[in-house]
Structure 1
Amino acid sequence: MNTKKVVFLFFSTMFLGAMGGAIIGALLYDPLFAEGGFWNFIFGVLWLLGIGAAVSATAQMGYFAYLLLNRLALSLFKTKKLWNRVQIFLIAFVFFDLFYFRYLAYATGDETMGGYLITPTLLLIYAALVAYFKQRETHRGAFIPAFFFMYVITTIEWLPALLVTEINDSVWLWIYLTPLLVANTYQLMAHHRIQENA
């Protein structure tokens, strides 16, 4: 992949992530637009675009970090089969952590653990779907690495939002998660296409 393709991937990912964050923010975050008025709306959209762009930049760092991690792990574990098993274990571990520790940290007396299972399960299903399409477009061995990247790496990138107690608000969590999902999905699905056209 040449420099031109890397630059294209960088800016297109940032643009799509920013748009994803702005759209979901405009739909969900009412306080930003509560005062009304044209300039308040413009400011709100620009602010959300900035947040989305910043979050998508984090997603890009996570993607290239995973590419490096994958190469190092393949040399460390010697066989792809063993590394795939480790990735499956880590997916299960992160799934458990994502609902259980958030339940311990934020649940009130009348809340059940079931409510904290919804988002991790939806994210797991989404990651599996993206990995399935990645596998269809490339090869059978791409499923587990793509699944791992979309679930585990996205969750790690999402961690700063999850750890801030003040924003344990589903709206803010989605404002942070949406650009990550958009950017990570785009990077994963665009990478092999860009390489094929290089």
Structure 2
Amino acid sequence: MGGLNIRKWFHLFWTTLLVGSGGAVAAGMALQGISGAVPFKGLTDFFLYALILFGYGMLVSVYAQLGFFAYLILNYMGFGVFPRKIWQYIQLALAVIALFDLFFLRSFVGGERSLASDSALGLTLLLAALAVAYFKVRDTNASAWIPTFFFMTGVTIVEMIGVLRLGVDNATMFIVVPLIACNAFQILRLHRILRPAAGWSE
């Protein structure tokens, strides 16, 4: 984290802000095209709706960035407390537990959601995490796989807890799409803005 100065952080902040806004607009327009839940009386309503989505995406982006920097601190502390391999295994175990909870426990134990809905969300997140981890390893080294996978699964699920409790699919999509986009962008961008000597796992 030593290479993340104010200028680099400012760049990461604004670019992630745009990614979150773009993700929210894309998700909102896609849902609108599918369900037509918001009636547009004219072109003004359309642009107003897009503007609201853009602002909402900015809020999600800020939330995602708070989670990202919290994880950077957690990761730094984890390597200070545990041996490197043990901390890697802890992250992998937590990621698996979080995914298991998202896939099954809420449906079977709590009865809060349908299995199909939770499975679709869990599978989407799993595939996104695997894809992001693949590109992270390709750009850095093999030791980045587990931290990236944990961040994209465990941390993202924690960030989604509030909207998951609502149990509304549309509300879930409104936050999941920009949140995954922001988290993927941040973790794939981090090693590019830090000094070359700083690895993701350090």
| Alignment partner of 1:80 out of 76, 79, 84 | 84
Q: Distance in 2 between the 1:68 and 1:183 partners?
A: 18
Q: Distance in 2 between the 1:115 and 1:177 partners?
A: 13
User: Which residue number in structure 2 is paired with residue 141 of structure 1?
Assistant: 143
Compare the two structures and name the one with the higher helix fraction.
1
Moved segments of 4+, more than 4 Å: none
TM-score, length of structure 2 as denominator length: 0.87
Q: Distance in 1 between the 2:160 and 2:116 partners?
A: 21
Matches within 5 A, 1:1-198: 1-29=4-32, 30-32=36-38, 34-77=39-82, 79-103=83-107, 104-107=110-113, 113-164=115-166, 168-196=167-195
Q: Which runs of 5+ in 1 are unaligned?
A: none
Q: Distance in 2 between the 1:191 and 1:56 partners?
A: 16
SS of corresponding position for 1:163: helix
CA RMSD, 1 decimal: 1.7
Q: Distance in 2 between the 1:88 and 1:59 partners?
A: 21
Q: Deviations over 1:3-43 (max 9, x none)?
A: 111101101101111111111101103222x1331121111
TM-score, length of structure 1 as denominator length: 0.89
**How many residue pairs are counted as aligned between the two chains?**
189
SS of corresponding position for 1:117: helix
Q: Which runs of 5+ in 2 are unaligned?
A: 197-202
Q: Distance in 1 between the 2:141 and 2:104 partners?
A: 34
Read off the aligned partner of 2:139 and give its amino acid letter.
Answer: E
Deviation at 1:115, TM superposition (A): 4.5
